[in-house]
């Protein structure tokens, strides 16, 4: 089994736990931006410490850019900004749709990462893999069928706020993931984990600083609430560290479309969390959408 497969499965599991904790923070004490800041603020010191420790233990230090520093920094920082946008959309989406469906909308990133990866890095997927991804698109369209007032055309359903947030999050996460892959590939040496940790340290630090500055300007009270929520935010930061480190390592080993497609096993995990933890219900149509998405994951793994 290729190394990126179990690494991706661990990433999906950790990300599900992180979103569960983030949803709890959003529903109990924090705003959308505050809950997003908590994710980065409580993980970036851990990432920096882990990167330094890994470099010291291996005795090889930390990898640097192969050429100009900009070749590493600009895709890393562009990815960081796009991830903030995507995370804000997903957290806001939780108040419109239930937990399982909210995280499923985010999976449009798998489809969108195909053209983004091709245009940016020249990554290509085979025809059977593309078919599997299109099956996943069908599942997303099933899930996007939001209710509208009587008399409105069916096409208006695809213009619902929930659908817009989901698709925007998908595009943002696709740009983010491809940017992170580009950043890890721009590092000169080091194994996949070392390159992933360096990229992740730069990214999470930039995200924490940017969101803290934003809240200091727009809603300073949220910073105090984020700090006060440390009991929940600390384990969320650990889950974020594990998930992000695994995602970044997988990106260093395999193109984004394949990694994110396998990562859709998170859909099944989030569905279990939705029913067992949050006591939410899933409609029959949403259930079929989830089933179709899981089928697309299986198909893609078989042909990847």
The 10s digit of each residue's pLDDT in 151-163 is 454 455 555 676 7
User: Domain ranges in the chain?
Assistant: 4-303
177 neighbors 123 (Cβ within 8 angstroms): no
Phi-psi region of 283 (alpha: psi -120 to 50; beta: other; left: phi over 0): beta
Q: What is the pLDDT of residues 35-74, one digit of tens each?
A: 889 989 999 999 999 999 999 999 988 998 877 788 999 9
pTM exceeding the 0.85 threshold for the entire prediction = no
The widest CA-to-CA distance across the chain, in whole angstroms, is: 68
Helix (H) or strand (E) holding 185: helix 161-185
Nearest residue to 259 (alpha-carbon basis) of 189, 196, 186, 191: 196
Beta-carbon contacts of 115 under 8 Å, excluding residues fewer than 6 positions away, are: none
Token representation of residue 128: 């059977």
What's the chain's length in residues? 304
CA 79 to chain centre: 11
23 neighbors 278 (Cβ within 8 angstroms): yes
Confidence class for position 278, pLDDT limits 50, 70, 90: low
What residues form DSSP beta bridges with 187? 65
């Amino acid at each position: 089994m290729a190394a990126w497969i179990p690494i991706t499965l661990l990433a999906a599991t950790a990300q599900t736990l992180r979103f569960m904790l983030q949803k709890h923070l959003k529903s109990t004490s924090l705003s959308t931006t505050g809950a997003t800041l908590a994710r980065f603020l409580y993980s970036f010191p851990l990432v920096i410490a882990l990167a330094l420790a890994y470099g010291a233990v291996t005795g090889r230090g930390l990898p640097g850019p192969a050429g100009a520093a900009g070749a590493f920094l600009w895709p890393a920082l562009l990815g960081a900004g796009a991830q903030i946008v995507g995370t804000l959309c997903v957290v806001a989406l939780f108040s419109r749709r239930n937990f399982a469906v909210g995280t499923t909308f985010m999976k449009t990133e798998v489809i969108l990462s195909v053209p983004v990866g091709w245009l940016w890095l020249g990554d290509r997927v085979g025809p059977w893999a593309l078919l599997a991804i299109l099956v996943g698109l069908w599942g997303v369209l099933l899930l996007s069928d939001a209710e509208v007032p009587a008399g409105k055309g069916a096409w208006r359903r695809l213009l619902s706020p929930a659908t817009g947030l989901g698709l925007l999050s998908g595009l943002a996460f696709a740009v983010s993931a491809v940017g992170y892959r580009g950043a890890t590939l721009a590092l000169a040496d080091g194994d996949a984990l070392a390159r992933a940790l360096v990229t992740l340290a730069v990214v999470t630090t930039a995200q924490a600083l940017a969101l803290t500055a934003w809240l200091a300007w727009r809603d300073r009270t949220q910073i105090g609430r984020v700090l006060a929520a440390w009991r929940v935010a600390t384990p969320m930061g650990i889950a974020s560290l594990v998930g992000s480190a695994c995602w970044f390592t997988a990106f260093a080993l395999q193109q984004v479309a394949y990694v994110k497609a396998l990562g859709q096993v998170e859909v099944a995990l989030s569905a279990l969390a939705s029913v067992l933890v949050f006591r939410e219900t899933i409609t029959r149509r949403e259930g079929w959408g989830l089933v179709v998405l899981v089928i697309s994951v299986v198909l893609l793994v078989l042909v990847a």
